[in-house]
Amino acid sequence: MLKRIQSGDPRSIAKAISLVENNGAGAQRLMKAVFSCRKDAVVLGITGAPGTGKSTLADQVIGCLRAEGKKIGILAVDPSSPFSGGAILGDRIRMMRHSVDADVFIRSMATRGHLGGLAKATGEAIAIFEAAGKDYVLVETVGVGQDEVEVVKLADLILVVLTPGAGDDIQAFKAGIMEIADIFVLNKADSPGAEETERQIQAMLELGFPGRVRPAVIKTVATKGSGVEALMAEVGRLSVSRDQSYLEKRLKRLIGWMLRDVTREKIFRLITQGVPDSAFEAYVDDIFHRRTDPYTVADQIVARLKK
């Protein structure tokens, strides 16, 4: 399977991502192999509120990169997936013209069971793309919750997409995503109020980035492709000047998640093996009859496992 992934075979890439997403049998073994042969891609995070034009923009970015012969993997990450089948479908339609291109792989990632799980699955999918020889990986996320901030931190460069009249978004974003933006994209620059919003973004940047290189604000009309060249020039400039320590940080964050997750799983298995169902039910019964409480019992279980 690893050989087929390395040859860029889309089916094997899809299979591998499903395997790590579902944490299926052999996922750990596969990821060990993937890690040993991955090569660094440029990972671009594209984040912003729903409807700001992230997918339309991604489609343009794909077009530019394909013109240079680059191979690309795209992850459309949607943490609220039970309710947003339509959004992901929209993403796919937006990038449809590239879906027959064998060197462009588009994949949606859905929510995971626990916080950080989505980030881990996304990180693993990026590693699979890197093993498959992709030069660029685009990660589209809706930038709202904590999980999304974690996901977008996997990127080497983060593009925050805003639209005219996004004053409220700017307030909402300030808390998390704004600080980690490398480039601000003011998309839908063909809509009224673009200049005013640009001023608001600049004003915010003046206040909010002490001791940091101020990110560029680039106006685009994704539906027409205007401004995309300037955006790609800035992406190119930043990815060249980006030092190795950045990449190291991204990889270490991913490795940290994997290590925690794998360890958590092993410990969980120990618990289920070490505490038989009958003993567990007895504990539940004791708590139910108020003879004890979950905290005390948890301590007892841990003590039992330590022995």
Ligand X SMILES: Nc1nc2c(ncn2[C@@H]2O[C@H](COP(=O)(O)OP(=O)(O)O)[C@@H](O)[C@H]2O)c(=O)[nH]1
Instruction: Give the binding site for ligand X (CB under 6 A).
Output: 48, 50-56, 90-91, 94, 187-188, 190-191, 221-223
Provide, rounded to whole angstroms, the least separation between the CB of residue 18 and ligand X. Answer: 23
| Residue 50 touches which of ligand X, Mg ion, none (Cβ within 5-8 Å per kind) | ligand X
| Residue 182 touches which of ligand X, Mg ion, none (Cβ within 5-8 Å per kind) | none
Sequence-separated (6 or more) residues with CB below 8 Å from residue 258: 31, 120, 123, 124
**What are the φ and ψ backbone dihedral angles of 166, each rounded to 5 degrees?**
-90, 25
Angle, CA 136 vertex, CA 130 and CA 142 arms, to 5°: 105
Provide, rounded to whole angstroms, the least separation between the CB of residue 80 and Mg ion. Answer: 12
CA distance 268 to 301: 12
**Residue selected from 47, 52, 55, 187 as contacting Mg ion according to rule CB under 5 A:** 55
Is 76 or 238 the residue whose CB approaches Mg ion more closely? Answer: 76
Residues 82-101 that bind Mg ion (CB under 5 A): 91
CA distance 104 to 73: 6
Provide, rounded to whole angstroms, the least separation between the CB of residue 106 and ligand X. Answer: 13
Distance from CA of residue 246 to its chain's centroid? 16
Q: Which residue, chain included where needed, has tokens 């996320």?
A: 141
**What are the φ and ψ backbone dihedral angles of 249, each rounded to 5 degrees?**
-60, -45
Is 132 or 177 the residue whose CB approaches ligand X more closely? Answer: 177
Is 132 or 152 the residue whose CB approaches ligand X more closely? Answer: 152
Residue with nearest beta carbon to ligand X: 53
Strand runs (DSSP E) across the chain, as ranges? 42-48, 72-78, 104-110, 136-142, 157-162, 183-186, 216-219
Provide, rounded to whole angstroms, the least separation between the CB of residue 85 and ligand X. Answer: 14
| Residue 222 touches which of ligand X, Mg ion, none (Cβ within 5-8 Å per kind) | ligand X
Is 12 or 108 the residue whose CB approaches Mg ion more closely? Answer: 108
